[in-house]
Every structure is written in structure tokens, then in C-alpha cells.
Structure 1
Amino acid sequence: MSRWSLYTWKRDGRSLRRALPTLTVLAALLTTSAGVAAGAAGAVERDVLGSGGLTQIELSSFEGDASVRPLTTSALRDAEGVPGVRQVVADYSSVLYAEEEGTFDLTSHTLTPGDDLPVTEGEIPAELGRDEVVLPATAQGTDFTPLLGRSVAFGYTKATGASSGTTAVIKLRIAALYDPSWQVDGPGVAYLSEETAALLAAARAGQEPETFRKKEGAQSAIVVVGHQKQVAAATKALQDDGFSASPVSDRVRNLPGLFGAADLAMRVGVLIMALVAIGLGVVRAADSTRARIGQFAVLRILGSGRPELRRILLGEALLTGGVAGVVGTVAGTGVSLALAGPLSDMLGLPITRADALPGPGWAAAALLLPAAGLAAGTLFGSREVLRRDPYLTARAHS
């Protein structure tokens, strides 16, 4: 890099500095894509796969669809008999509402192995007891924090006829509270043991729990197998047996297209940035050299050889690419961090700002590729013009 490069880069509007805006935008886009993809991948790994998602299969029940096997007691028993299956937990949905304190009306679900709640207070036991419940820290204007660890009376509906019912009361101890922004099953959900969830769902239908589970069945269920390699075979066996079954890990591939698009964009972005940087180097170097050919001819006559002039251009290229890489990487990282919240809402997974930071490899690519590509292009773009005879050139421009 020549000592004149900084001077010509700053002072001469015809220098390679003109390539700065385009390269900055490309570096910013690459960094943003890398940050978005890293955030989505980190959230998936932590909240879907890290919670055992790789060994889980989800069963679904569709009301009115005779082609899908309902998740009744006998059906779930058959699912438990599939080779490799270690556990089957059924999800029953109902409603818990305030009986003594507050004005809340909470949807209830079974706490399944697929639920990795972000606990803020208390601790979820390895197996939730029949008289325990896990609630959001706040819901519908009610703060449950003061009630943590206490047994609270909850109301639930007990049907007495086709269109009539009465209120029944159940006492449950609040074992833990979770972050209310976690809304995989919707806002303000109370999580119960399988037995208690089935009790409430059966009461709402006006049936005894065993009868309800035998005839109506669960809304969905999570099947846990012993090892990841058994998931495919167990899924196929369940599907062949009439169940609607899909591996929980499929959520990674079936997330909104933003995750896949961002991952593809950052890989394609590296190639595009390299090609554009080289192309800009070729074009801008040729244009810049032609525009300043009179100046370069004088320098040649005064004793500067082609290598020195080439070093001036390479210095301008490295300065331009370096500034573009730094500014673009900083701007792209800022955009990626700003998108962490909206992306979290879109994917339904908690993504922290730390998750949204681009990986060191992608950040290095955004920093270095603009300078490297522009410098490579400059070597080709300036070659023809610098070969011209300086005396003829100076005479033509005098």
C-alpha cells in the first residue's frame, strides 16, 4: 500500500472511494442475514431440540376427520406399545377461572415433555403432581407471584346437561411461574398434570374422566422414544397405525420461511459480495485510472513505476473495502439485534440479543470480503490503462 493512497482516497473524487456505498450495503445485508439465521438457529437448538425435541413425536387429533385415529385410552396404549417408545403424555384442554382471588380465566393444558417453560419463580418438579399447577407470572391483570407455593381455589365448569352446567372448585398448589411472553399454546395458559387436565376436560364435557378418555380422547399427545435414531421408525409405525404423527424436530424445518431464507441468503450473500466486489474493482479501477491517466502519466515521467501506481490503487481499494466492511458489519449487527424481538414473535421462540449476533466466521467475511474482492478486481481493471506510454499520454492531456 502506497503512502499516497490515503491522500488520493480522501482528496480525489475519482478514486475508488466511489465503490463505498455499494459494498457497505452488501456487508450490512450479509451481517443481518447471518445474525437473523444465528438467532433462529440458537432458539431452535435451545428451545426445541435442547428440550428433548430430537426424541419426541407429536400426535394430533382432528375432530370430524375419520381418517385420523382419535387419541383415546386404547389408542394411546397402542402408541405406547410401538418399539422404541418410552412414554406417551396426552394433552387435555379446559379452562380454570378465579374462584376467590382475581378475575382471570385461563386455558389449561397438560404439561408435556415438549413444553420447556421459561420459569421465573419456583421450580417445576420432574413430574407435576395432581394437585399442582404452573401459571404465567401475570395474566389478565392478575399477578400470581404472591400466590407462589400456596394452594389456591380455582373454579371450573362441570356440565350438567347439553347446555347447562355448574361451577366446581379444585384446589391446586402453584408450583412455579413462567414468563408470560412464552405463548406456545396461547396467552395465559395454566399447565397441569395429565390426570388433572383430563379431569377438567371430562367435567366440561359432563363425563367421568375414564369415560371421557376412553370415548372422546385427548387433543394431542407427545410420544418420547429412547433415541433419536428410533424417531423415523416409530413415526412410520404410528402413521401406519392410523395416527397423525410428526417428529417434533420437524418444527425446525417447518418454521416460517424466514429461518431458511436467512440461512440461504447469508450463504449466497458471501458469493454475491465477492463477485460484486471483484466486479466493482475491475470497473471502478479501470474508470478511475482512465479519469486520472494524466496524473499517473506525470508520476510515471517523474520516476514512479507501474508497481507504485498499482500500489496506490490497491491502497485505495483496501481503504474502501475496509471502511465498507466495518460500517456494514456494525450496521448489519445493529439491524439484526433490532430484529430479535419481532423475529421472536414471528417464530414463537424466545430469541435474545446475544442469539442474534452473527457468528465470528460470517462477521469476518463481511469485514474482509469487500477489501479482498475490490483489491483483486483492481489488479485486473487497472492493468490495461497502466500499460500505456506515459509520454504519449502526457502529451495527449497537455
Structure 2
Amino acid sequence: MNIFSLALANVRALRRRLFGLVALVSVAAAVCIGALGIADRAQSATDTDVKESSANRSVTVDRPDQRPDAPQLTEHAAARLAKLPHVESVQHRVQVSFGVMTKEGDTVLLYATTHRPALPPPVTKSVRDDLFPLRPGEIVAPALSQGVDLSKLVGQDLETETTRFVRQGEGTGVTGHARLVGVYDPTWQMDNPDAAYAADPTVIKWAAQRSGQPEKSYLRTTGYDQLTVVARTAADVPAVTASVQKLGYPAVTLQQQLSALPGVLEMIKTVGRVLLGVLGVLAFVGAVTVTGALSRQRAQEIGILKAVGFRTRSVLTMLVTEMALAGAVAALIGTVLGTALGSGAAAVLRRSTDLAPYVEGWVLLPPAGTLLLLFGLTVLVVAAGSLAPARRAARMSPTDAMKDW
């Protein structure tokens, strides 16, 4: 029987005595793997879905109302910005207020807003899967607005009231109808509170009525109240922002707000690293303690092995191999438990609207390279921890070993 086979047989025979060490290392490894799995998935989502998302590549250009010398955001301005280097697209926003009357008698003031693909609202309830682009006469409103629960009205036709310009400071109400085809999370306010998305022709028609200008010439004269310039890559955002500002437009970017992980997930990532160190300490101390105790209890066995011709090196190899095998078993159990722990924690995090995009998937594990590294380090630390007491035990002479027994 070779040394490895003998060590494996001893591990099976001593499994009850090794249970404490295996349990300790398994639990520590499970918590570590779970935290690292969630953190890795969050980092991956940040690198792909967030960093290169259209929102993170967007440069927002507002209408320069406070600067009469600055150019307006007309169709010509949008076409001009679209020709800048590294620009993928230019998306516009027009907003105009309108009222909604429910059958229960509630009145809600909303702001009809054109939809921009770069900044889609988080729809929570809808009549169909793909809402956008919206059809004429359709609106998507916040689920809760001014104390009125609009989510109960999805799929219904609502009475609307817009304003038609009569003369300076005077207007008249125009009654119409719109179908509520969806609602979104009201905490999402990228287009201001109470924004209700509608088809472009509908919004431009209402805005032209309110301003008293012909609908056909509205975009050439008054224009948009905001433009979103989408860069080709996240790295192009600074250059695109500078180019837009050189043309005299006030431009800001969302990149700084969206380039980092949420605080909770960053904390999980840090905890995972700390637990990795704690795992090493626990594995090392546990191996020292268990190996020392087992060596004393197995003095007779060691004495017999030395008496029948086993060298000190062979006994040392056997004892260290036993602990390494125990560490391997603990690492495997820890991986299974860590997968369950990470997936359970992810299910809890997915209940949060802000965190859900960062924890997609049901089985959360670190990359294969990280798992193999963690597995190897666990075995190595346990073996290293057993080295000193195993060396003392292996150096005992057969006579001394029999006396200790």
C-alpha cells in the first residue's frame, strides 16, 4: 500500500475526529464563495450592462433657457450634434403638461414625454411585453402619482385635458382620450417626477397647441427641451462632452453616477476579501490543532509504522496528506454550500429594484479560475498548518511512541 492509499484509508477511519475541522473550513469557505460569487456577478454586470449601457454613454444637453445667446435645441441642432465624432445617435425629449381624469373622479397632472431608448423607464406592469415605441394615443405613467394609484388603471382609456394657446397668458382646455398601456416604478425620475411617456407625434402635437405654433414648424422653431447624445463607447464620453460644449451647448454626463457598484454590493465584495483571509487563518489554526491532537492519540500507530521500517519522511508525508485530503473535502463541501448561500442571497437582493440588475442568474459562483485558486489555497493552508505537529510526531522513535501510548 502506498502512502496516498494509506492516508486515504486513515481519513476514512478518522472521519469522525476530522468532522470538526471539515465543518469549520466548509462553513468559512461557503460564506467566502457566496460573497465572492455575488460580487463577481455584480462586477460583471457593471462592466457590461452598466459601463457600456446607452445610459452610461449618454451626454445630456438641456435647453439653454438662461442663456439667450446659446443656440436652441431644434431639428437642425440635433442633426449637427449627430455629425460629431464618436457619436452613435442623438435622442430627443419634449415635455408638456396635461391632466388625466379617472372614473373615480381623481385628477392627476402629468407631463407628456417623448421616450428615449437610452433612458428607458423601469416598467412594472404593462399590457404587452414590448411597449416601446408607443403607438399614438398610448401613455406610460408612474405607478403612483400625487397619491393616485394608476397601476389599477392599466389597459383602460382615460380622459385627458391639454391646453390650447389663445393669447399671451390665456389658454383653453382641450379634452381627449388616451389609453394607459403601462406603469413604471415612480422612484425612477430621470425625466422628472410625474413624467408620462407618449408617442412622439402626440407629445409634439400637445406642445405645439400649448405654445400656439403650427405643429409642422414646432421642431424648427421652438425645438426640443433636451437632447441625449449617445457616444459609441463609454471611453468616448469625455471627448463627445467636450465637443458638445465647444458648440455652445450646456452638456452633462451620467457616467460618474453609473460607473461604480452600488454601495451594498461593494460592501459584499469587501466582505468576501476579508472572509478569504479569515478562511486562511481558521484553516491554518484548525489544522495545527487537529493534527497535534490526532498525532498524540495515534502515537501507537506511528510507533508501529516506524518499527516496521517506515521512515520519518514517509510518516510525515502520510500525516500531511491526511490533512490535505480533509482540506480538499472541506473545500468541496464549502463550494456546494457557497453556491446555495450565494443563490439565496441573490434571490433576496433581486427584490430590490436598484440591485436586481446586478444579480442576474440563479447560480452565482466566482470564475472557475477563482474557484480553483480558492480550492488550492484551502488545501495548501490546511497542509501547511499540519506540517509542524506532523513533523514532531514523525520524528518520534518507536520506543518513545510506545511510551506515549
Alignment TM-score > 0.5, same fold: yes
Q: Which residue does the alignment assign to 1:177?
A: 182
Q: Which residue does the alignment assign to 1:368?
A: 375
Q: Which residue does the alignment assign to 2:38?
A: 35
CA distance in 2, matches of 1:244, 1:79: 13
Please tell me the residue identity of whatever aligns with 2:38.
Answer: G
Q: Which residue does the alignment assign to 1:154?
A: 160
Q: What is the aligned-residue identity percentage?
A: 15
Task: Measure how far apart 1:253 and its partner are.
Answer: 0.8
Match of 2:20 among 17, 37, 42: 17
Cα deviation code 1:256-275 (max 9, x no counterpart): 34455656766x46xx63x6
- Tell me which structure has the larger Cα radius of gyration: 2
Structure-1-length-normalised TM-score:
0.71
Task: Measure how far apart 1:223 and its partner are.
Answer: 2.0
Relative to structure 1, the CA distance from residue 282 to residue 67 in structure 2 (aligned partners, 3 Å threshold; closer, same or farther) is farther
Please tell me the residue identity of whatever aligns with 1:135.
Answer: V
Q: Which residue does the alignment assign to 2:242?
A: 236
Relative to structure 1, the CA distance from residue 93 to residue 351 in structure 2 (aligned partners, 3 Å threshold; closer, same or farther) is farther
RMSD of aligned Cα (Å): 4.7
Match of 2:262 among 256, 268, 283: 256
Q: How many residues align?
A: 379
Relative to structure 1, the CA distance from residue 281 to residue 172 in structure 2 (aligned partners, 3 Å threshold; closer, same or farther) is closer
Q: Which residue does the alignment assign to 1:109?
A: 113
Q: Does structure 2 conserve the Cα–Cα contact (< 8 Å) formed by 1:341 and 1:351?
A: no
Q: Which residue does the alignment assign to 1:337?
A: 347
Q: Does structure 2 conserve the Cα–Cα contact (< 8 Å) formed by 1:23 and 1:370?
A: no
Q: Which residue does the alignment assign to 1:89?
A: 91
Q: Does structure 2 conserve the Cα–Cα contact (< 8 Å) formed by 1:2 and 1:312?
A: yes
SS in 2 for 1:333: helix
Q: Which residue does the alignment assign to 1:287?
A: 289
Task: Measure how far apart 1:299 and its partner are.
Answer: 1.0
Q: Does structure 2 conserve the Cα–Cα contact (< 8 Å) formed by 1:235 and 1:246?
A: yes
Q: Does structure 1 conserve the Cα–Cα contact (< 8 Å) formed by 2:346 and 2:359?
A: no
Cα deviation code 1:358-380 (max 9, x no counterpart): 35637845983574344443453
Cα deviation code 1:26-55 (max 9, x no counterpart): 5324323422542574488458856x557x
CA distance in 1, matches of 2:71, 2:394: 81
Cα deviation code 1:193-223 (max 9, x no counterpart): 345435545767x6647679856961x3222
Q: Does structure 2 conserve the Cα–Cα contact (< 8 Å) formed by 1:277 and 1:370?
A: no
Structure-2-length-normalised TM-score:
0.70
Please tell me the residue identity of whatever aligns with 1:238.
Answer: V
Structure 2, gaps ≥5 residues long: 1-6
Q: Which residue does the alignment assign to 1:346?
A: 354
CA distance in 2, matches of 1:231, 1:358: 32
CA distance in 2, matches of 1:63, 1:101: 40
Please tell me the residue identity of whatever aligns with 1:283.
Answer: V
Match of 1:133 among 135, 138, 154: 138
Please tell me the residue identity of whatever aligns with 2:354.
Answer: M
Q: Which residue does the alignment assign to 2:127?
A: 121
CA distance in 2, matches of 1:91, 1:98: 21
Does residue 318 in structure 1 map to residue 318 in structure 2? no
CA distance in 1, matches of 2:90, 2:379: 56
Relative to structure 1, the CA distance from residue 109 to residue 265 in structure 2 (aligned partners, 3 Å threshold; closer, same or farther) is farther
Relative to structure 1, the CA distance from residue 32 to residue 167 in structure 2 (aligned partners, 3 Å threshold; closer, same or farther) is farther
Task: Measure how far apart 1:191 and its partner are.
Answer: 0.9
Relative to structure 1, the CA distance from residue 350 to residue 282 in structure 2 (aligned partners, 3 Å threshold; closer, same or farther) is closer
